[in-house]
Amino acid sequence: MVYRDASVSVLREAAAHLAGWLSAQAGAGNWTATGVTDDEDGYPRAPSVCGPGGAMLVLTNPDPALVTMRRIHVAGIYPGGRGWIRRDTKVVDAINVALARGWDALGREVERRLLPGYLPQLEHAQKALAEHTADIALRRAIRDDLVDRIPGAYVIDHAESDYRSTVILPIGGDSGSRLAVELYRDGRTAKVDGASLPNEFVEQLVQLLETRTSAHLREAA
């Protein structure tokens, strides 16, 4: 959040200069600055600079308690948050630049210190998030297939997450017995939790899971 003070106009100006500076560099592509828009609480959001490949740099005041703004904090933003970046590689994806150095220095520092680390991490995060999204879609397709093909089966909605789906299957005819099948990640890993089951039922369930998983994998390819 950027507090409603004199720093807002400075950050807006900084974003415009940074976008222009980066766009003027050979091979840097086109960069554009966003305006400062208010959030639901009436506070202005930090301005950002957006570039090729989904790149986004957010500019904030790192010292909001100071009367006079002295530095600008520039941070690279990742889709879905920082959970998708590589943890085995330490990179610089956020820097502070003194205002007294001028707008050209801001552009040079971003190009020299921030982008070389941020852009590869951004590409990795985008790929990881896309794979995760595909896994969720595949698992939920398998989940829905089980429900469609087995009368009386249903999904436990409150147990649904990005990594797990739970389907309840009726077993034992009129006995009211139920079997919980938990599908993990892309649906190719399952855990079956229930009472003693007839071997025939287990074999049919395994065969159905294998058949439908293979079919959905072919569709996703």
Query: Is 120 found in the same domain as 55?
Result: yes
Query: Is 185 found in the same domain as 154?
Result: yes
How far is residue 138's CA from residue 143's CA, in Å, rounded to a whole number?
Answer: 9
Query: Is 59 found in the same domain as 85?
Result: yes
Which residue do the tokens 């429900």 mark? 147
SS3 assignment for 79-108: CCCHHHCCCCCCCCCEEEEEHHHCHHHHHH
Domain boundary (129, 156, 179) is at 129
Query: Is 149 found in the same domain as 123?
Result: no
Query: Is 187 found in the same domain as 110?
Result: no
- Among 61-70, 156-165, 192-201, name the one with the lowest average pLDDT: 192-201
In the prediction, which pLDDT does 49 show?
A: 95
pLDDT in tens, 21-46: 999 997 778 999 986 555 555 555 68
Query: Is 165 found in the same domain as 82?
Result: no
In the prediction, which pLDDT does 185 show?
A: 87
In the prediction, which pLDDT does 189 show?
A: 79
pLDDT in tens, 174-221: 556 778 888 888 887 778 776 555 566 666 666 777 776 666 666 666
Query: Is 156 found in the same domain as 212?
Result: yes
Domain boundary (81, 97, 129) is at 129
Supply φ then ψ for residue 79, to 5 degrees.
Answer: -65, 130
Query: Is 145 found in the same domain as 123?
Result: no
Query: Is 176 found in the same domain as 71?
Result: no
- Is 2 part of any domain? no
Confidence of residue 3 (pLDDT cuts 50, 70, 90): very low
Global confidence as pTM: 0.76
**Mean of the pLDDT values across residues 54-77?**
90
In the prediction, which pLDDT does 90 show?
A: 81
Domain count, the chain: 2
**Mean of the pLDDT values across residues 137-161?**
88
Query: Is 141 found in the same domain as 196?
Result: yes
More confident residue, 41 or 73: 73
C-alpha 53: how far from chain center: 15
- Is 72 part of any domain? yes
Query: Is 135 found in the same domain as 52?
Result: no
Query: Is 115 found in the same domain as 39?
Result: yes
Portion of the chain with pLDDT greater than 70, in percent? 79
Question: Quick check: 72 and 114 in contact, CB under 8 A?
Answer: no
**Residue 176 has which token pair?**
């009211």
- Is 61 part of any domain? yes
Supply the range of the domain harboring residue 87: 7-129
Domain boundary (110, 129, 148) is at 129
- Residue 208 burial (10 A CB sphere; 0-12, 13-18, 19+): middle
- Is 76 part of any domain? yes
- Is 136 part of any domain? yes
pLDDT in tens, 118-128: 999 999 999 99
